[in-house]
């Protein structure tokens, strides 16, 4: 029987990508909701890694499975790396990304291409049933676009432009995004760690 991994996320956009990236493993990946775990977790760490570990440990306390968590976000250099670890909470958790994205574009009005640099960052934490905790990391460099483009992905994807591809990450197919993204990189590293252990 395939070994189970519980993913400690309530974000459906992340979960879709995680399932695709881990599809070629022996693991059966379920969300915390599918595992029947309903938790609101206070993310009070000061780094992506700390918050990923906080989420994974909170769910690991509720089940005996391997638990993974993703903490990620967008750093914009011109805005002193805002929204950073506060990416989900920026302008309020319930504010639509139409509004958040429009606000970030507005805050960069008049700013040149060279100064619009930004990156998506992702830390993945794993808590194993024996208590071992490890993290992996991924990032992808890009720029903040001048308008929203594309319908795929989620969150800040419509304004995150990849100069080398001439597209925002919302204009990429799922496979294309996963092959270049912060989450793809961090999860591929985590797959290697899982292979060493199971």
Instruction: Give the tokens for residue 127.
Output: 């808590």
**Residue of 18, 73, 104, 143 interacting with ligand ITT (CB under 6 A):** 73
Rank residues 11 and 117 by Cβ distance to ligand ITT and give the closer one: 11
Minimum CB–partner distance for residue 73 and ligand ITT (Å): 4
In the complex, minimum distance from the CB of residue 158 to ligand ITT, in angstroms, rounded to a whole number: 9
In this structure, the chain runs to a length of: 198
How far is the C-alpha of 90 from the C-alpha of 70, rounded, in Å?
A: 18
70 among known catalytic residues:
no
Q: For residue 15, how many other CB atoms are within 10 A of its CB?
A: 19
Q: Does 70 bind ligand ITT (CB under 6 A)?
A: yes
Determine the Cα–Cα distance for residues 126 and 6; give it in Å rounded to an integer. 10
Asked whether position 25 contacts ligand ITT by CB under 6 A, the answer is no
Supply 114's token pair. Answer: 């060279």
Q: Which of 70, 71, 145, 157 is catalytic?
A: 71
Taking the complex as a whole, the smallest distance from the CB of residue 133 to ligand ITT amounts, in Å, to 17
- Find the shortest distance in angstroms from Cβ 22 to ligand ITT: 15
Rounded Cα gap, residues 125 and 71, in angstroms: 8
What does the block give as tokens for 13? 């956009």
Cβ closest to ligand ITT, residue 15 vs residue 194: 15
Alpha carbon separation from 178 to 47, 50, 116, 138, 154 (Å, rounded): 23, 23, 23, 11, 13
Which residue number, 157 or 185, has a Cβ lying nearer to ligand ITT?
157
Q: How far apart are CA 162 and CA 183, in angstroms?
A: 15
Token digits for 49?
Answer: 């890694």
d(CA 84, CA 86): 5
For ligand ITT, the binding residue among 30, 63, 88, 134 (CB under 6 A) is 88
Decide if residue 87 touches ligand ITT (CB under 6 A): yes
Where in 121-150 is the site for ligand ITT (CB under 6 A)?
Answer: none
| Site residues (vs ligand ITT, CB under 6 A) | 9-11, 14, 43, 55, 70-74, 87-88, 120, 153-157, 181, 183
Question: What are the catalytic residues?
Answer: 71
């Amino acid at each position: 029987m395939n070994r189970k991994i519980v993913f400690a996320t309530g974000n459906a956009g992340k979960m879709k990508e995680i399932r695709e990236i881990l599809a070629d493993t022996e693991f059966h990946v379920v969300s915390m909701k599918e595992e029947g775990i309903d938790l609101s977790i206070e993310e009070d760490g000061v780094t992506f890694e700390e918050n990923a570990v906080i989420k994974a440990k909170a769910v690991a306390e509720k089940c005996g499975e391997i638990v993974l968590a993703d903490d990620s976000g967008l750093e914009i250099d011109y805005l002193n790396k805002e929204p950073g670890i506060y990416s989900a909470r920026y302008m309020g958790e319930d504010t639509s990304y139409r509004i958040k994205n429009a606000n970030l574009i507005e805050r960069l009005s008049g700013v040149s291409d060279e100064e619009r640099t930004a990156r998506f960052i992702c830390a993945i934490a794993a808590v194993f049933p024996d208590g071992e905790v490890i993290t992996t990391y991924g990032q992808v460099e890009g720029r903040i676009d001048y308008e929203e483009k594309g319908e795929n992905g989620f969150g800040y994807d419509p304004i995150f432009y990849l100069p080398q591809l001439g597209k925002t990450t919302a204009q990429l197919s799922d496979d294309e995004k996963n092959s270049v993204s912060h989450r793809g990189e961090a999860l591929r590293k985590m797959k290697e760690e899982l292979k060493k252990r199971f």
